[in-house]
A and B are shown apart, each in its own frame.
Chain A
């Protein structure tokens, strides 16, 4: 009997049997219920709702004065800022990372510190189901929150402006929703990765917030500094300035915040024709201020749209591998 057992092992890596997704939905439902009823999320959702109402109301006040002049009135709801309030999109850029980090920072180390992991994993499920379930539940919570916000904003627009959104506006709004979800996914994925790396939930939360601060506040300064050092404008020529601007943009685009901002601009402002530096010669024959069709706007922002999705997948893959290799015992 024992020789037979040794032979099985010698044949190679034993394959495990049964679907890795057994019990996935049980995990998703449980985590989703936790997120939606948890105090942590309720506070953040209230905050988001309040800012949405505040900024959009302020936006409607300033849009009202220019009603009839803009064919994409509805999209202006998202982007119009009125002193002292920033625009709705500006607020989202701040609140979404916080919310996403709150959803993910204790996903794995929380199970260790509550000593629930070995009990849960001794049920007939694979770890794959647990980690994917947590990830899907986090994304679903974010999606639910964002859709709710989007509906609130659109509803307020209808109510206050009295103008229904056109088909293209709705399509652009939905794409904006998708881009925001991918942006949120990055922060949640990062927080979950840290929750697998660090044993203390406080450590993973602080690290995730530190990374967010780096990108939100310091990254652009660093990009400017580095591009000025590497491509200095010694003679003040156009070539030099262009090289510096390109390097600056390249560096800035490593930040998810930059990518998100560019996607949002291209999607919500149909008049935007380029996200980089444009030479006068390139604008010859262009009718400035005319809106682009949706497909062209999407084309402009396509790399900025897909990069965050790829980053989310990479972050999830890293978390997955790390978690699979961890010992169950703390």
Chain B
């Protein structure tokens, strides 16, 4: 596979403030990559540098083989960008707004009309095509934003906080639309701080913290690395020495007694059957539940540990 997006030591400083520090990123063609992190961690700055909308202080980037600093037009012809809380001209209709985008992309009129109809239908906006965007809900505007991205038939789609401000149902719908982009073979770069929402659509994620890429890999990968195990099992059992029994189960990384008879087991494999067998043999098993921790927890844990280390040192 070849890289759709690559950065080499990409750095952006605003005076003494470092927005992005020495970023080395690689997105394979056709993958959905999640650039995740809290607000102000440098996600949007990274995106703007990839589009040539702001100049890197140091380092460089390649998007589909083009250099965004020197050849931004070539990049922007092939990359669609949905900005954070996208805006449209409220006094124009959805169709007119897309007509402007089509014109800026130099599409001839018949082709533009055909494509606008196509993307509006795909986003479920065909019925409101001739309504003013000022009357649109947040969710509709977000879908119109995605229509705007797809209009130029991009090879790469960069979506900044695509689910922010959407109600849970609209967010799920929108995530489905993002999955459909992947099926079409697009490379998608997703930036978000809503880790739990986007973790389900991302092939790989990179966790951002203060301008640096702190962790990178698949969601399972990170879970394994940070939480010690990808599986978390809650065991409720009575009897003496349950904690020792649990710790001896193969694949278990950590056991913690929560309160009373409840124990939290972190394991690299799903070893519920083995746990059940051993606990029943030695005591009384009351309950057994599997919990898969989300990225939020991975993130929180990772930086807790990082800060603890920093405090100790």
Give the B-binding residues of A (Cβ under 8 A): 1-2, 5-6, 8-9, 14-18, 22-23, 26-27, 29-30, 34, 38, 114-116, 118-126, 327-329
Contacts and interface: CB of A to CB of B under 8 A. Distances in A.
Determine the main DSSP class of A at the interface with B.
loop
B287 interface: no
B293 interface: no
Given A1-B8, A14-B69, A29-B103, A121 B77 contact: no
B105 A16 contact: no
Given A119-B86, A329-B44, A126 B59 contact: no
Nearest to B97: A116
Given A1-B8, A16-B70, A122 B87 contact: no
Interface string B220-260: 00000000000000000000000000000000000000000
B73 A328 contact: no
Contacts of A38: 91
B48 A328 contact: yes
A12 to B, nearest CB: 12
Contacts of A34: 89, 91
A91 B30 CA distance: 63
A116 B89 contact: yes
Interface string B56-75: 00111000000101111110
Given A16-B69, A18-B74, A116-B88, A123 B60 contact: no
Q: Which of A6, A114, A123 has the most CB of B within 10 A?
A: A123
10 closest A-B pairs by CB: A115-B87, A26-B103, A5-B60, A122-B81, A18-B73, A2-B8, A123-B104, A118-B83, A124-B76, A124-B77
Contacts of B80: 122
A215 B81 CA distance: 45
A2 B79 CA distance: 23
A119 B60 contact: no
Contacts of B77: 124
A121 B60 contact: no
A15 B59 CA distance: 16
A60 to B, nearest CB: 39
Given A5-B8, A22-B73, A329-B44, A121 B53 contact: yes
A114 B100 CA distance: 15
Interface string B84-112: 01111111000000001101111000000
Contacts of B145: 119
Nearest to B88: A116
B267 interface: no
A9 B81 contact: no
16 contacts: A14-B67, A15-B70, A18-B73, A23-B103, A27-B104, A29-B103, A114-B88, A115-B86, A118-B53, A122-B53, A122-B79, A123-B76, A123-B104, A124-B73, A124-B77, A124-B105
A124 to B, nearest CB: 4
A118 B44 CA distance: 11
B2 to A, nearest CB: 13
B51 interface: yes
Contacts of B51: 122
A126 B73 CA distance: 8
Nearest to A18: B73
B86 A17 contact: no
A122 B104 CA distance: 10
A162 B56 CA distance: 68
Contact of A119 (B69, B74, B103, B148): B148
A131 B91 CA distance: 21
B71 A18 contact: yes
B58 A23 contact: no
Nearest to A20: B73
A123 B9 CA distance: 26
B164 to A, nearest CB: 13
A123 B79 CA distance: 9
Contacts of A328: 48, 53-54
Given A30-B100, A38-B91, A124-B105, 7 more contacts: A6-B59, A14-B70, A17-B73, A18-B73, A34-B91, A119-B81, A119-B83
Contacts of B72: 16, 18, 126
Given A124-B77, A329-B44, A17 B70 contact: yes
Contacts of A27: 104
Nearest to A14: B70
Interface in B7-47: 8-9, 44-45
